[in-house]
Structure 1
Amino acid sequence: MKTKARNVPLTRAAVLGAALEIIDRDTVDRLSMRRLGEALDRNPMVLYRHAANKAALLDGVAEIVLAQLTVDATDPDWRHQLRSIARDFRKLAVAHPNTVSLLVTHPLSTPLALRPLGTLRPLEDILELLTRADFSGADALHIYRALFGFLHGHILNELQEIVEHPEETDDLLRLGFHRLPIGEFPLLRGLASNLATYDGASELERGLDILLSGLTTTIAPAATRPRKERRS
């Protein structure tokens, strides 16, 4: 379906928006300059003025998705802000599940300083949030890595959660646990109801409770540390 008339000026925002629509509908693998040109009613060669190649196009899509992630670096309650960021990141992933590879795995193949600037903005803003809370730069980075390591794992788990037979009413059958050897994996079988009723939002909150409690216990802002420890 064409999203733009030929007489409307073509902008980078329009190109990336149309690319995101294709990815949302058909996955990253189905995006091509040819299909994007058809969607925009333009010669595909014109698109190279806005993205040098498909890799640059995908970087741009990641940027416009992450641009929707709001980080308030001035929030005096860093725990509240990290929880808000985590919730918003999950919402973006659930709204655009086909972009998760661009947000989670694709960046790992690119050195940090070579990634699109827009994808680095959340990192910079979270570091500012935490250093404002009197964490050292190194501790702030550790907290960021712990948070997004958890978030990435949670999102991949939530979006790839598969129930083998959703029409079944028995949880063991829904999960296909009847295929497991009888007498083995008793603990896993005992959690069938929990596994079959996976709630991504609730799991996120529980995970954040555990993560933030642990971070609060093990990493303290400089101002709250004993004076001797601060000097060391």
Structure 2
Amino acid sequence: MGSPKTSAAGGTARKAPLSRELVLTKALEVVDEEGLDALTMRRLGQELGRDPMSLYRYAENRAALLDGVSELVLNELPIEPDDPDWKAQLRLIAHNLRSLALEHPNVVPLLVTRPLSTPLGLRPLGTLRPLEQILSLLIGAGFSPAGALHVYRAYYGFLYGHILNELQEFVVDPEENEVLLRLGLHRLPAKEFPRLRALAPALAEYDGSAELDQGITILLSGLETQLSLTGANPTD
């Protein structure tokens, strides 16, 4: 039998003790590198050098593991519910959420579609904190509680729509200089899609950050108008 591995100091090397944070961090690494389908308890055990059965202490099943990954990513989203400049805060949250999505694109389906299958009260607390914090921000700005909920839905509907749109693959052939060919739009019948084909240069120059900022400006302008028209306690 081989002798136990030793550290540089001469002692026996020990594995880092497992913790929920360590397990979820490694799970996120697997998802980032290989996608959601690659994440299983067996694979995670291999990555951590542990018996997969030992991981059930930190996530009772794969579904709980996926929920934990969602919470881990959303914990990276800073929100200041007491910020007196609610518009600046919503703009900042939007750009930070976009950055997180671009950093962890394989997690986006967990954030956007997975909650649809889970009643609100049964979702992981970490995934609900952004909702609670943004409601506090909006109510503090003068929106009624029901009005704040409507704003949140419109706001996140726009954000997730933008993120999903940006993550789509626009470029078919990055080596092609002609934008119509690079985007594959030359395959569309010219008589049926004249406007879309004509927009090839604009599509090729897509700036996700600027596009998001423009959309947020439109949304915030409408909300500010609503707030001023309905007084200090706007309703739905």
**TM-score, L = length of structure 1:** 0.91
Spell out, residue by residue over 1:47-72, the C-alpha distance to the aligned partner (whole angstroms, 9 max, x if none): 00000000000000100100111110
1:164 deviation in Å? Answer: 1.6
- 1:119 maps to what in 2? 127
Query: Aligned partners of 2:23 and 2:83: how far apart in 1?
Result: 34
Spell out, residue by residue over 1:73-125, the C-alpha distance to the aligned partner (whole angstroms, 9 max, x if none): 11101100000110110010001011001111111111111000000000000
1:161 deviation in Å? Answer: 3.0
Q: Does 1:8 align with 2:19?
A: no
Query: Aligned partners of 2:14 and 2:29: how far apart in 1?
Result: 18
- 1:50 maps to what in 2? 58
Would you say the 8 A contact 1:70–1:85 is kept in 2? yes
CA RMSD between the two structures: 1.7
Would you say the 8 A contact 2:142–2:227 is kept in 1? no
What SS does structure 2 have at the residue aligned with 1:51?
coil
- 2:175 maps to what in 1? 167
1:221 deviation in Å? Answer: 8.2
Q: Which amino acid aligns with 1:36?
A: L
Q: Does 1:66 align with 2:60?
A: no
Aligned with 1:180 (options 188, 193, 213): 188
Q: Which amino acid aligns with 1:11?
A: S
Would you say the 8 A contact 1:16–1:57 is kept in 2? yes
Aligned with 2:166 (options 135, 144, 158): 158
Query: Aligned partners of 1:220 and 1:142: how far apart in 2?
Result: 17
Would you say the 8 A contact 2:71–2:124 is kept in 1? yes
Identity of paired residues, percent? 61
Structure 2 unaligned residues grouped into runs of 5+: 1-12
Runs of 4+ in 1 over 6 A off after TM superposition: none
Aligned with 2:25 (options 17, 25, 28): 17
Spell out, residue by residue over 1:125-180, the C-alpha distance to the aligned partner (whole angstroms, 9 max, x if none): 00001111121001111111111000101111101132122211111111222212
Query: Aligned partners of 2:64 and 2:14: how far apart in 1?
Result: 23
Would you say the 8 A contact 1:6–1:40 is kept in 2? no
**TM-score, L = length of structure 2:** 0.90
Change in Cα spacing, 1:31 to 1:223, as seen in structure 2 (3 Å) is: same
Higher Rg of the two aligned structures: 2
Structure 1 unaligned residues grouped into runs of 5+: none
